[in-house]
Structure 1
Amino acid sequence: MDQQQRYAIEWECTRLINHYANLNDAARWAEVAALYAEDGVMTRPTAPDEPIVGRPAILAAFDARPPRTTRHVTANIVVTVHDADHATATSAMLLYTAPDKPPLVGGFEDRLVRVEGEGWRFAERRGTLSF
């Protein structure tokens, strides 16, 4: 793999992480769930010991949320490319929830995989809270 290919993968994975935050804030749950591989795993920062496995379960978990207004700010994204179809990433996250909840600071550790016909997806998205 040459440097241009590595940069392209890094960009696509960074875009995936940012797109996830935007779709999450827009409450577009079906589109959020579709960003996971079919057997993907999601672990919320607020429930790090309760993994949710598979797109249908991930969608159901988002659908079960009460309506809320949020803004996720994602930063410090670092993607490590392992090969043409596998990467990992870390990122920091700041979550604002309106109207009166204090901001949450945390991050994500991601395992990313290229899915035939779909592009890059989350194989696993593990959230953590710092404070």
Structure 2
Amino acid sequence: MTPDERRAIEADVTRLIHAYTWANDDADWHACAALYTEDALFRRPSGGEPVRGRAAILAGFLARPPRAQRHAITNVLVDVVDENTVRARSVIVLYMGEVTSDDGLPVQDAKSPLIGTFTDLVVRTDEGWRFAERVGALDFRP
């Protein structure tokens, strides 16, 4: 693999991580789930049992109660294993609030912000780069 190919993979996977973040903040759960492989494993940073499979991940997203949210993803580090496999880590900062009935700005939740990490296994598929594993963890208690 050439240095340019490696950099292109790093850029593509960084873009995947950011696309996921924007879809999540837009509550576009179908777009979020589409960024996983069919048999992916996902664990929310807030804990709970891991969820396996794109359909189950989508169902989990759809079951979420509405909330205002904004994720900031930082310190993205992409390690290319080979031309089809990548490991990545990133820091997540999550601001949350309740959706208002008057379309005004939400009031920030007292538990905000939450700070944690994502550890990802990303693979190249026919659909492009997708999360095979996305494991979140909190770094501080709220």
Structures share fold, TM-score greater than 0.5: yes
Extract structure 1 runs of 4+ deviating beyond 6 A: none
What TM-score does the superposition give when structure 2 sets the normalisation length? 0.89
Aligned to 2:3: 3
Aligned to 2:102: none
> 1:103 offset after TM fit, Å?
0.7
Q: Deviations over 1:39-70 (max 9, x none)?
A: 011100111x5110001000000000001110
Aligned to 1:19: 19
- Paired positions, count: 129
Match of 1:105 among 98, 105, 115: 115
Stretches of structure 1 that go unaligned for 5 or more consecutive residues are none
> 1:2 offset after TM fit, Å?
0.4
Decide which moves more: 98-107 or 73-82.
98-107
Distance, in Å, in 2 between the alignment partners of 1:86 and 1:20 is 18
Aligned to 1:115: 125
Decide which moves more: 94-103 or 30-39.
94-103
Distance, in Å, in 1 between the alignment partners of 2:108 and 2:25 is 16
CA RMSD of aligned residues (A): 0.8
Stretches of structure 2 that go unaligned for 5 or more consecutive residues are 98-106
**Where do 1:9-48 residues align within 5 Å?**
9-47=9-47
> 1:100 offset after TM fit, Å?
3.3
What TM-score does the superposition give when structure 1 sets the normalisation length? 0.96
3-state SS of 2:108 partner: coil
Distance, in Å, in 2 between the alignment partners of 1:3 and 1:106 is 31
How much identity, in percent, do the aligned residues show?
A: 50
Highest CA radius of gyration, 1 or 2? 2
Q: Please tell me the residue identity of whatever aligns with 1:38.
A: E
Distance, in Å, in 1 between the alignment partners of 2:42 and 2:17 is 13
Q: Deviations over 1:86-119 (max 9, x none)?
A: 0000000000002232210001000000002x10
Distance, in Å, in 2 between the alignment partners of 1:74 and 1:105 is 10
